[in-house]
Homo-oligomer: A and B are copies of this chain.
Amino acid sequence: MTFIDKLSAAWTRNNSLLCVGLDPDLARFPAHLQGQPDGIVQFCKAIIDATADLACAFKPQIAYFAALGAEAQLEEICRYLREQYPHIPLVLDAKRGDIGATAHQYAREAFDRYGADAVTVSPYMGFDSVEPYLEWPDRGVIVLCRTSNAGGSDLQFLDVGGRPLYQHVAQLVAEKWNRNGQLALVVGATFPEEIAQVRKLVGDMPLLIPGVGAQGGDVEATVKAGRTADRTGMMINSSRAILYAAPQGGEDFAAAARRVAMDTRDAINAARG
């Protein structure tokens, strides 16, 4: 089963477009998990168990693990996800980008080591920096297009032939790079009107949309801008608003995460119409 098929099945099965981001920040962990050697695994497994019926994807952000030297814990979390929830796509958020020989190593990291169904990559180095990932035909590659941070405009909004660079990237990916239907795009929720522009350019290509929750993106405007004719087409990501929903130190962090995840899923579904 390809990444796109798996994602599509998860949208239907859980009636959800919500992607739960796993950004484990020890400073915000509940007190009883602080200082435990496998605290990150315990925290993430609890979040996963509490939200797996509400999510269309899980997205660990590798930087949070790499900063702590916690790759072994990320491996364990990914293994747990694949074994316990094989129907939910696992997206490794890594935003890699390098020449072909090196990209091949990054693909091995994402797909073989962590078993991710998809990985995020940067388009700056061009198609041959994306191509090596396509050798894993059942996996997906999610290319940065329009990002949710303020500085995203520095390059992505530059005028290229009468339109902003991010639109050029969207069309390039949709029309030239997406040879086997393995590609998707990252488009931030902080710019709903730009999501609509991208949607027009890329047909039904899935969009990974960060920026709701802690980053303040508007759920209703986001969904209306990004939905496809069948009212799917998006992984709308929330990380911190879900992970740290409980007042710090609370042991009910998983229950609080579930509540926020459910509210977010429902708000998304209300806007899908």
Hey, which bits of chain A sit against chain B, CB under 8 A?
Answer: 23, 61, 63-64, 66-67, 69, 71, 75, 95-103, 105-106, 108-109, 112-113, 122-131, 144, 147-156, 158-161, 165, 168-169, 172, 215
- A231 smallest CB distance to B (angstroms): 28
- Given pairs A61-B102, A122-B124, A127-B151, 5 additional interface contacts (CB within 8 A): A66-B105, A95-B98, A99-B149, A124-B124, A160-B160
Bound state CA distance, A260 and B66, in angstroms?
34
Please report whether the interface of chain A is mostly helix, strand, loop or mixed according to DSSP: helix
Bound state CA distance, A129 and B105, in angstroms?
24
- A23 smallest CB distance to B (angstroms): 7
Cross-chain contact B151 with A158 (CB below 8 angstroms): no
Q: Can you list 21 A-B contacts (CB < 8 A)?
A: A64-B105, A66-B109, A66-B113, A67-B109, A69-B113, A97-B97, A97-B122, A123-B124, A123-B154, A124-B124, A125-B144, A125-B149, A125-B152, A126-B150, A126-B155, A127-B154, A129-B149, A154-B172, A158-B165, A159-B160, A160-B165
Cross-chain contact B97 with A126 (CB below 8 angstroms): no
Bound state CA distance, A108 and B69, in angstroms?
10
- A145 smallest CB distance to B (angstroms): 10
Residues of B near A215 (CB, < 8 A) are: 99
Instruction: For A147, give the chain B residue with the smallest CB separation.
Output: B125
Residues of B near A64 (CB, < 8 A) are: 102, 105
Interchain CB contact (< 8 A) of A126 among B71, B129, B153, B159 = B153
- A139 smallest CB distance to B (angstroms): 15
Residues of B near A97 (CB, < 8 A) are: 95, 97, 122, 124, 144
Given A156-B124, A156-B126, are A63 and B151 also a contact pair (CB < 8 Å)? no
Bound state CA distance, A49 and B95, in angstroms?
33
Bound state CA distance, A108 and B100, in angstroms?
27
Bound state CA distance, A159 and B123, in angstroms?
16
Cross-chain contact B109 with A63 (CB below 8 angstroms): yes
Residues of B near A69 (CB, < 8 A) are: 71, 75, 113
Cross-chain contact A125 with B105 (CB below 8 angstroms): no
Instruction: For A64, give the chain B residue with the smallest CB separation.
Output: B105
Residues of B near A95 (CB, < 8 A) are: 96-98, 122, 125
Cross-chain contact B156 with A100 (CB below 8 angstroms): no
Bound state CA distance, A123 and B155, in angstroms?
8
Interchain CB contact (< 8 A) of A124 among B101, B103, B144 = B144
